[in-house]
A and B are shown apart, each in its own frame.
Chain A
Amino acid sequence: MLTILTTYPDVLIDGFINTLFSSVIALFFSLIIGTLMAILQLAKNKWISGLANAYVEFFKNIPLLIIVMFFYVVVPLYWFSINGFTAGTIGLTIYTSAFIAETVRAGIMGVPKGQTEAGLSTGLTQNETMRYIVLPQAFKIVIPPLGNQFINLVKNSSVLAMVTGLDLMYQGDLIASETFNTFDTYILIGLIYLIITLPLTYLMSYIERRLNVTS
């Protein structure tokens, strides 16, 4: 296993960076899109909430791989060209945003109604109440599930390997097919993933425990 590490350090570091990079970008945008969708889902206008619902339900219920392949194969075939990394990251963003929307919506609904009324009664507008009163409280509720979403996101980013996304899994796969030492290569790649995901998991359970204590 050490020989793999010393023979292919550049490739592995490249893959590691691409995996992290893709996950962080996807997290950032899926937080924005997800929160927006959650708010739209709760909108009074039936059309808007219906559309937001459809978005969330659709992308929650089809495989990530299909979304990623759509951006890698179909979009460039008929519209414009995007490379594997971008296609993968867009797919990850859309897929994760559906789950984040679900989580945030549950969080908003978890904030007592009285809070909104209190906000409105102090003269804040509907939007301001949402932004300054409800969302901050909702985020406290959703931090643990959001953390889990991020861990899932890092793991899910491995589908980039299937669309030449140059991520850790793609590089590992190439090393395995070059060295034929599948066992050691996959163990090594697994360990590198754990370097990212395990600390996050323990951090999340720590935060969860802290939140439980304070509430």
Chain B
Amino acid sequence: MKTFLRNLTFVGWLSFIGIILVFMVAIFAPILATNDPMETDPLRRLSQEEGFPLGCDQLGQCVYSRLIYGARLSLIIGFSARLSALFIGLAVGLAAGYAGGWLDWFLMRIVDMFLAFPSLLLAIAVSMVMGSGIKTVVFALAIVGWAEMARIIRSAALELRSAEYVIAARTLGASHLRIVLTHILPNCLPLITVIFTMGIATAVLSEASLSFLGLGVDPSLPTWGGMVASAKDYMLRRPELVAYPGLCIAFLVIVFNVFGDELRDILDPSRKGNW
């Protein structure tokens, strides 16, 4: 960890601080928020009352407090979606890469199928099947995201399979599961960290897109994508209602992208410069 921090560039530090900042906002949302983010009041419609730092939206909700809680939701959804995708991706990728042969062929065809789908259409279809809600969005994003992870992990596992220490372990009679867990998985960790971090950015973006299309979580919840969607019709009158949540999404995605990039340069120098 120490060497890692030492290796961070200036931009890397900035993004690292940015991520910490978002996390702090998410954790301390109840303290930072000035109002209940979901409290509506017809009389406060689009008003600029005192006690509402950024004014109110068309439902009389405190825009500032919604932005603060939005950080929490974005992180929760981004992380859980990515974790779920990672689990499926790990299982499939390791199995395919380590086993090889027909299992590899079969699993990779399934991966190809999921990669071939227009991902947004697939996510939309999944959220329509399951109805709206946080679980749905997480599931939809996991369905859309796991295949890419599986492919990357599989190619790493494929290389490690023929590494000397793996062959040595096998000749010593170690079980396959043991080899995968103690030799292959740990060696994939840097790679996993990188794709996980960058995946958060993708997941946050996709969640925002779904919410924007009205297919995400319950719009009463303060998600940034949902805030953009609900302010869109008011854009000519109050453009800032679109701008605030929009900038928040962009900020969160940028810091995760940049940080992921840095991580990759440090942990996996062979792929330096590629996304």
Q: Are chains A and B native binding partners rather than an unrelated pairing?
A: no
Which residues in A have some Cβ–Cβ distance to B below 8 Å?
A: none
Which residues in B have some Cβ–Cβ distance to A below 8 Å?
A: none
